[in-house]
Amino acid sequence: MTSDSNCAVESSGLIEITGLSKTYRSKKLALVEALKNLDLLIGKGEVFGFLGPNGAGKSTTIKILTGQIRQTAGSAQLAGQTVSDYRCRRDLGYLPENPVFYDYLTATEYLAFVGRAFGMSDSVIRQRAGEVLGLLDLQHAAKRPMRGFSKGMVQRLGLAQTLIHDPQVFIFDEPMSGLDPVGRALVKQLIKDLKRQGKTVFFSTHITADVEEICDRVGVIVQGQLRAVDKVSDIVIGDTDNYRLHVRHGDGSVIEEIVSRNMLKQKVVNAWADQGALEKVVPVGRNLEDYFLDIVNNVNK
């Protein structure tokens, strides 16, 4: 693990996890060590992707952070307060993995319920509910009971309720799950907007492309253990010695070629001289999927 990138954030992280472990014990089944000695520090204003395959321990971590289950060992703090203290959740927006709501309430009624739980006044709730329904493209559903909602609408309302009290920290468990491409784009934009406002977002996913697009850093968890923490920009661009060139020739054919850094200038000049249209020059680096699969395959060896 590149430990320096874990410490590059402010020393007083907004989310601080130290030696966190969880073993599930059930009467009939064997013990399950779902989380083993997790250390993680998330700084203010960071968007952090918690990436791992199914069963890796992502939801377990998030359930501990949100006070739903207790760790077996270790500690976790939000903004300096231990997660077992309910007060640390006043400034938190949380989206569970499979949100389930009271389906006889309308979207507006549900947001009012959440707003009141956070001590907001009715007039502020009214204004804020309109705003967040707009952000999640749910205005049309404001007065509809949730029982008629599609999976994607439920997911978007789940995100809307995290915003109602304008918290500083967001924890989302698989926020893009169940969304169509339009919904996914909406949620990615929402997370980018939160980042622009200086908010902190910690979210779990198994989809590398989502992390690549919106995260500052990524932590990879496999079989309950954190295997790597890195800046996404370090992984995705990386050091590259090769470039992929796309040149369109006069007859319409497109030639794709990988050229070395040394040859790049000459190839570009040649393409120009041949009157070819240089359509793309892309550095060939590792993408996040390669990085992720390398880690997972190493664990499974």
Ligand X SMILES: Nc1ncnc2c1ncn2[C@@H]1O[C@H](COP(=O)(O)OP(=O)(O)O)[C@@H](O)[C@H]1O
Q: Which is nearer to ligand X, 62 or 159 (CB)?
A: 62
Shortest spacing between CB 268 and ligand X, in angstroms:
45
Shortest spacing between CB 215 and ligand X, in angstroms:
17
Report the residue from 13, 43, 45, 52 that binds ligand X according to the rule CB under 6 A.
52
Asked if 247 is part of the footprint of ligand X (rule: CB under 6 A), the reply reads no
Half-sphere exposure of residue 52, counting CA atoms within 13 Å on the CB side?
A: 28
Shortest spacing between CB 58 and Mg ion, in angstroms:
5
Cβ contact 272:224 at 8 Å: no
Contact string 160-189 vs ligand X (x = CB under 6 A): ------------------------------
**Distance separating alpha carbons of residues 74 and 67, to the nearest angstrom:** 14
- Of 234, 210, 14, 202, residue with least CA distance to 94: 202
**Distance separating alpha carbons of residues 219 and 170, to the nearest angstrom:** 16
- For 43-56, b/e burial (b = at least 16 CB within 10 A) is bbbbbbbbbbeeeb
Structure tokens at 196: 């622009």
Shortest spacing between CB 40 and ligand X, in angstroms:
14
Asked if 227 is part of the footprint of ligand X (rule: CB under 6 A), the reply reads no
Asked if 59 is part of the footprint of Mg ion (rule: CB under 5 A), the reply reads yes
- Of 161, 165, 156, 218, residue with least CA distance to 188: 156
Direct distance between the N- and C-terminal alpha carbons of the chain, in angstroms, rounded to an integer? 18
Task: For residue 284, give the amino acid letter.
Answer: V
Structure tokens at 227: 């295997």
Question: If residue 24 lies in a helix (H) or strand (E), which one and from where to where?
Answer: strand 15-24
Q: Which is nearer to Mg ion, 58 or 128 (CB)?
A: 58
Q: Which is nearer to ligand X, 178 or 276 (CB)?
A: 178
Structure tokens at 31: 């013990």
Q: Which is nearer to ligand X, 26 or 253 (CB)?
A: 26
Rule CB under 5 A: which of 92-121 touch Mg ion?
Answer: 97
Contact segment (CB under 6 A) with ligand X among 55-63, 126-134, 253-261, 272-280 equals: 55-63
Shortest spacing between CB 55 and ligand X, in angstroms:
4
Q: Which is nearer to ligand X, 64 or 186 (CB)?
A: 64
- Report what 165 binds from ligand X, Mg ion, none; CB cut-off 5-8 Å by kind: none
Asked if 32 is part of the footprint of ligand X (rule: CB under 6 A), the reply reads yes
Which positions touch ligand X (CB under 6 A)? Answer: 24, 26, 32, 34, 52, 54-60
